[in-house]
Amino acid sequence: SLWLRLAKPYSGETYGFHFPLINGTEVAIAFTDGNPNRPYIAHAMHDSNHADPVSTANKHYNVIRTPANNKLRMNDKRGQEHIKLATEYGKTQLNLGHAVNSQKSKRGEGFELRTDDWGVIRAGKGIYVTSYKREGDEGVKKASLDADETVSLLEAGLSVSQRLSERSDSHRAGKLKGVESFNLFVQYTASEAESRLSFTQPSMVLSSPKGIATVTPDNIYHYAEQNILLASKNETNIAANQSIHMSAGNEYSVLAKQDIKLFSGEAKVQLQAHNGDIEIIADKTLKVISNDDKIDINAKKEITIACGGAYIRIANGNIELYAPGLIKQGAQGFPFSGPKEMQPTLYSFPEQQPQKPYLKQFLLLEEGSDQPIINREYQILNKANQVIAEGKTDAQGKTEIVNTGYEESEVIFRYKKD
């Protein structure tokens, strides 16, 4: 027979409704204006050899399914409403509502997005993931970024962090550097006036009224190019079944309003300064106690003990003992003998490897685009506002290679505008 056009419910030059017919499909033929010379396919029909996927057993189903089992299925049975969008490739599915298995047994409710392959969730302006409930129709009417509970928690976290940072700074332990960046994050993420998330910068917010857990039988990694801030209104606990190791490129500072406790249950406690001094200072009493053994104090050059103008100095094999007042001595006897010496036990520090400078090259781009800024004079300054490099960008918009110091650090970039 001649090729016949297929009638469709929706069509146009660059758009339309298209489900190709398969060889052997029964069709109904109609004629334009009743003209037998202008036939077209009006409908596709099910028959005994091509059964309808919807029958009495699943009469509530509304289904679009292709020969490869790509499907859109909607169930209108009251109390079991669901939508399933699926493809056999990777068993990738989106299940909404009352989810069932192939035997129509309930296996869940809500929504499920699953695949045996890879999954990506991407939003260029921001992502908000929450388990705070918005009930029924009223919840649907609210803005999708309505988040008064989350905004309140962000503000509370910022307040706690700022207060503790100020306290740390007042005790000369230094400010919490992450608080300033957290403040900026809250400003461009949350709109306090509207109790909603604004996402003026692309970011991600996760919130839950009853906790968030991250677990794996393997490893967890957290990395930030800038700062990591951990804050809690009550306790922050860290536990490891074996070891806890912390390393800081510059400073490690700890402040507690009340007690700081450091215990070793079975072995020794070591406190070392490999290239500097150790200072232990107390406004009140300083106690050094050996409960079952002895106290050793060793120094290579000198030991001085002073109080109230009196002092004892041990240096160069000599002992000086002076006092502005009385020196009282009492003992069963004072035996004297010839000179003796005992060499102090000193610690052998590991050899320090020289640090390598941190080198970096920068690419200067026009704001809001990927267009490089070429042949532009610039200056690069360190945190102390000192110029560490200056020059002119090349034909690719790149600076020269810059030594930013002995660790990756923040720099300030200046350039002349046209």
Do residues 116 and 127 share a domain? no
Q: How far apart are CA 287 and CA 381, in angstroms?
A: 47
pLDDT band for position 56 (cuts 50, 70, 90) = confident
Which tokens belong to 126? 């921001």
pLDDT tens per residue, range 357-402 = 677 888 888 877 888 888 888 888 877 778 888 888 888 888 888 8
Phi then psi for 377, rounded to 5 degrees?
A: -70, 140
402-403 and 359-360: which strand pairing? antiparallel
Domain contains 34: yes
Q: Both 112 and 126 in a single domain?
A: no
DSSP string for residues in 376-413: -EEEEE-TTS-EEEEEE--TTSB---EE--SS----EE
Contacts of 289 (CB under 8 A, 6+ apart): none
Instruction: Give the H or E element holding residue 258.
Output: none
Q: pLDDT higher for 286 or 191?
A: 286
Domain-embedded: residue 11: yes
* Whether residue 103 is found in the same domain as residue 142: no
Q: Are residues 94 and 134 in the same domain?
A: no
Q: Which of 181, 179, 156, 155 is nearest to 169 (CA)?
A: 179
Domain with residue 418: its CATH number is: 2.60.40.10
**Of 36, 82, 38, 34, nearest in space to 58 by CA:** 82
pLDDT band with cut points at 50, 70 and 90 for residue 80: very high
pLDDT band, very low/low/confident/very high, at 254 (cuts 50, 70, 90) = very high
**Residue 138 scores a pLDDT above 90:** no
How sure is the predictor about 95, in pLDDT bands with cuts at 50, 70 and 90? very high
In a domain, 225, yes or no: no
Query: pLDDT-derived band of residue 218, with 50, 70 and 90 as boundaries?
Result: very high
Share of the chain above pLDDT 90, in %: 49
CA-CA distance, 95 to 114, in Å (whole number)?
Answer: 9
302-319 average pLDDT score: 94
pLDDT in tens, 401-416: 887 765 556 677 777 6
Q: Are residues 98 and 85 in the same domain?
A: yes
Looking at the 3D structure of the chain, how many domains does it have? Answer: 4
- 7 inside domain: yes
Judge whether 183 lies within some domain: yes
Are the C-beta atoms of residues 378 and 394 closer than 8 Å to each other? no
Same-domain pairing of 129 and 104: no
Residue 204 confidence class, pLDDT cut points 50, 70, 90: very high
284 residue type, one letter:
K
Q: Which domain does 79 fall in, by range?
A: 63-120
Instruction: Quickly state the pLDDT bin for 10 (edges 50, 70, 90).
Output: very high
Q: Which residues pair with 413 in a beta bridge?
A: 380
| Stretch (H or E) spanning 114 | strand 106-114
Same domain membership, residue 150 and residue 79:
no
Structure confidence at residue 117 (pLDDT): 96
Per-residue tokens: 332 = 């069963």
Q: What counts of helices (H) and strands (E) characterise the chain?
A: 3, 20
pLDDT band at 159 (very low <50, low <70, confident <90, very high): very high
Is 316 a member of any domain?
no
**Which residues contact residue 416 at a Cβ distance below 8 angstroms, ignoring those fewer than 6 apart?**
376, 377, 378
Task: Assess whether 365 and 400 both reside in one domain.
Answer: yes
Q: For residue 310, tell me if it sits in a domain.
A: no
Tokens at 75, concatenated = 């169930």
Residue 85 pLDDT: 96
Per-residue confidence (pLDDT) for residue 140, from 0 to 100:
66
Instruction: Confirm if 365 and 373 have CB atoms less than 8 A apart.
Output: yes
Residue type, position 127, single letter: I
